[in-house]
């Protein structure tokens, strides 16, 4: 996948989140921005964020809040995926390798399961 093919990277990352849309609240679903909240309301009245992906100027960001709430989810993260991290719950991609996409899919599933266990879903 060419570095400049950000729409394809976005489509692949959005595809990791789409299977969860029926159980979550789709806050944004527009070209280049897909955002999912949980139905759980935090003490401040705001919904609990689950995940999002968005095309930026030079890369595609993938945000996964369960890894912020439950940092132990990152304990088994590969070095290659860890290199993509920006901050505590954001991963940036200019291109995707299939192994990273698969690892990220498993991380999303584990994060979703952790949210379920915590009663957020």
Give the Cα separation of 117 and 48 in Å (integer): 15
Angle, helices 6-17/98-117, rounded to nearest 10 degrees: 30
CB within 8 Å of 73: residues ≥ 6 apart: 66, 67, 107, 110, 111, 114
Residues 6+ apart with CB under 8 A from 4: none
Of all helices (H) and strands (E), which one includes residue 49? strand 47-55
Q: What is the pLDDT of residues 74-119, one digit of tens each?
A: 999 999 999 999 999 999 999 988 899 999 999 999 999 999 999 9
pLDDT band at 1 (very low <50, low <70, confident <90, very high): very low
**pLDDT above 90: residue 4:** no
pLDDT in tens, 50-77: 999 999 999 999 999 999 999 999 999 9
Q: Which two tokens stand for residue 74?
A: 């990152």
Question: CB–CB of 27/34 below 8 Å?
Answer: no
Locate tokens 């590969």: which residue? Answer: 78
């Amino acid at each position: 996948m060419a570095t400049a093919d950000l729409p394809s990277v976005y489509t692949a990352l959005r595809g990791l989140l789409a299977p969860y849309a029926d159980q979550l609240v789709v806050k944004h679903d527009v070209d280049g921005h897909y955002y999912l909240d949980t139905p759980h309301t935090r003490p401040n009245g705001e919904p609990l964020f689950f995940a999002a992906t968005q095309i930026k100027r030079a890369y595609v960001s993938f945000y996964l809040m369960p890894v912020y709430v439950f940092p132990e989810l990152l304990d088994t993260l590969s070095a290659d995926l860890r290199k993509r991290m920006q901050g505590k719950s954001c991963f940036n991609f200019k291109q995707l390798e299939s192994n990273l996409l698969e690892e990220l899919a498993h991380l999303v599933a584990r994060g979703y399961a952790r949210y379920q266990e915590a009663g957020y879903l």
